[in-house]
Amino acid sequence: MKRFSNASDIKVGVVGYGGAFNMGKAHLNEMKRAGMTPVAVAEIDAARLAVAQTDFPGIETYATLTEMLKKSDVNLLAIITPHNTHAKLGLEALRAGRHVVCEKPMAITTAECDTMIKTAKQKGVIISTYHNRHWDGRAQQAVKDVVTNRCIGDIVRIEAHMGSRNKPGDWWRTSKSISGGILYDWGVHLLEYSLQLVRSEIVEVTGFAKYGFWGPQTKWKNDANEDEGFAVVRFKNGVVLTLCITQLDSNPKRGWVELVGTQGNYIIDGPENTHILRDGNRTTSTTSKHPDEGWKFYQNIADHLTKGERLVITGEWARRPIHILDLANQSAKKGATLKSRYK
């Protein structure tokens, strides 16, 4: 793989500049913070291209990725389009010899991930996924507390959950065929957290889904996401992970991720972590907050391409949560538990 002398030599761009949270601008600014040089934007909406030119005066703008790849010498591209386009656009860029970062989720199916990983290796470029939450303070502290210091003993069970009772909006993230389903958007975050904590092989996945309540009330009708998605993951070391993303729960559970161990519980809840111990009739609860450092994602990319430092979010790492989600989808349709093909 070609190394760059300096981070500023890495010319970067984004594919997609619209959507929520002004993500195109956010990605380019984080790349710039890591020392890389923003040079190009591809976006089908001309109005959004005009915004990009205002945000980054002089930046190259293109109506399609194909046009960008023909005319620009951009080295690294972030794909921040809807989920079902990540693989197609990512592969086009990889085959053109460009480094690629896909917004999370990496793709919708395991096969799509495998094809991107294989193509990146053939072309001598990187494929990664924007798992900036890998560096969330709550996640990093949980690794120290639970894995390194074993504050709750052996992990027995992990429950990852998010949602409440609310009608989904009429946007592409509510479409099953575009988004992948209700488990994908936030589920990929919670699985990435959990996979940092469970140091074991995935054995099997069982998926469940409830359809038909909210879907008819949205513009997507039969193509709407599940009302609730639920997955059970069994690991070789005996740990069981459950993932539930719901829009039906009138009494949502506390926290995002709760770990049950042989010596206590540990809850990751938004910006804070809580360690709970029970000794006889006495229960103690300790809460702590830790700053997020998502900017380290692109810093690691820059350091990998210039100094050869270890790439933290490899394609293989980003594939693991997608494999769980893919199997959960297939399992829910078949009504059967499915074995993992990857560890």
CATH code: domain of residue 223: 3.30.360.10
Contact yes or no for 264/277 (Cβ under 8 A): yes
Regarding whether 144 and 106 lie in a shared domain, the answer is: no
Regarding whether 149 and 126 lie in a shared domain, the answer is: no
Contact yes or no for 77/50 (Cβ under 8 A): no
pLDDT tier for residue 20 given thresholds of 50, 70 and 90:
low
Regarding whether 214 and 119 lie in a shared domain, the answer is: no
Of 2-16, 18-32, 284-298, the least confident: 18-32
Structure tokens at 309: 């430092």
Residues facing residue 266 across a β-bridge: 259, 275
Residue 258 has pLDDT above 90, yes or no: yes
Regarding whether 167 and 229 lie in a shared domain, the answer is: yes
Structure tokens at 49: 């291209």
pTM (whole model) above 0.85: yes
Residue 281 has pLDDT above 70, yes or no: yes
Domain boundary pick from 81, 114, 130: 130
Position 315 in a domain: no
Residue 21 has pLDDT above 80, yes or no: no
Domain boundary pick from 109, 130, 151: 130
Position 188 in a domain: yes
The domain in which residue 231 lies consists of 134-294+323-339
What is the secondary structure of 149-188 as a DSSP string? S-TTSSEEEEEEEEE-B-PPPSSGGGBHHHH--HHHHTHH
pLDDT tier for residue 26 given thresholds of 50, 70 and 90:
very high
Rounded to an integer, the average pLDDT of 246-255 is 95
Position 204 in a domain: yes
Regarding whether 278 and 151 lie in a shared domain, the answer is: yes
- Give kind and range of the element (H or E) at residue 323: helix 315-334
- Convert the pLDDT of each residue in 39-78 to its tens digit: 999 999 999 999 999 999 999 999 999 999 999 999 999 9
Tally the domains of the chain: 2
Regarding whether 276 and 158 lie in a shared domain, the answer is: yes
Residue 254 has pLDDT above 60, yes or no: yes
Regarding whether 164 and 81 lie in a shared domain, the answer is: no
What is the reported pLDDT for 271? 85
What is the reported pLDDT for 341? 87
Domain boundary pick from 113, 130, 147: 130
Residue 138 has pLDDT above 70, yes or no: yes
For residue 287, the number of C-alpha atoms closer than 13 Å in the C-beta half-sphere is 6
- Convert the pLDDT of each residue in 83-94 to its tens digit: 999 999 999 999
Regarding whether 86 and 193 lie in a shared domain, the answer is: no
What is the reported pLDDT for 51? 95
Regarding whether 281 and 171 lie in a shared domain, the answer is: yes
Regarding whether 196 and 125 lie in a shared domain, the answer is: no
Give the residue from 194, 308, 174, 316 showing the smallest Cα distance to 243.
Answer: 194
Regarding whether 146 and 107 lie in a shared domain, the answer is: no
- CATH number of the domain residue 114 falls in: 3.40.50.720
Residue 343 has pLDDT above 60, yes or no: no
Position 311 in a domain: no
3-state helix, strand, coil split of the chain in percent (to 5) is 40, 25, 35
Rounded to an integer, the average pLDDT of 2-9 is 96
Could you give the CA distance from residue 68 to residue 74 in angstroms, rounded to a whole number?
8
Rounded to an integer, the average pLDDT of 272-300 is 94
Could you give the CA distance from residue 198 to residue 267 in angstroms, rounded to a whole number?
15
Instruction: Please give the torsion angle defined by the CA atoms of residues 288, 294, 295 and 297, in that order, rounded to the nearest 10 degrees.
Output: 130
Rounded to an integer, the average pLDDT of 118-132 is 98
Structure tokens at 116: 């991107």
pLDDT tier for residue 19 given thresholds of 50, 70 and 90:
low
Q: Is 26 exposed, middle or buried (0-12, 13-18, 19+ CB in 10 A)?
A: middle
pLDDT tier for residue 298 given thresholds of 50, 70 and 90:
very high
Position 177 in a domain: yes
Position 305 in a domain: no
Regarding whether 37 and 100 lie in a shared domain, the answer is: yes
Position 265 in a domain: yes
Position 306 in a domain: no
Rounded to an integer, the average pLDDT of 157-184 is 96
What is the reported pLDDT for 282? 92
What is the reported pLDDT for 18? 81
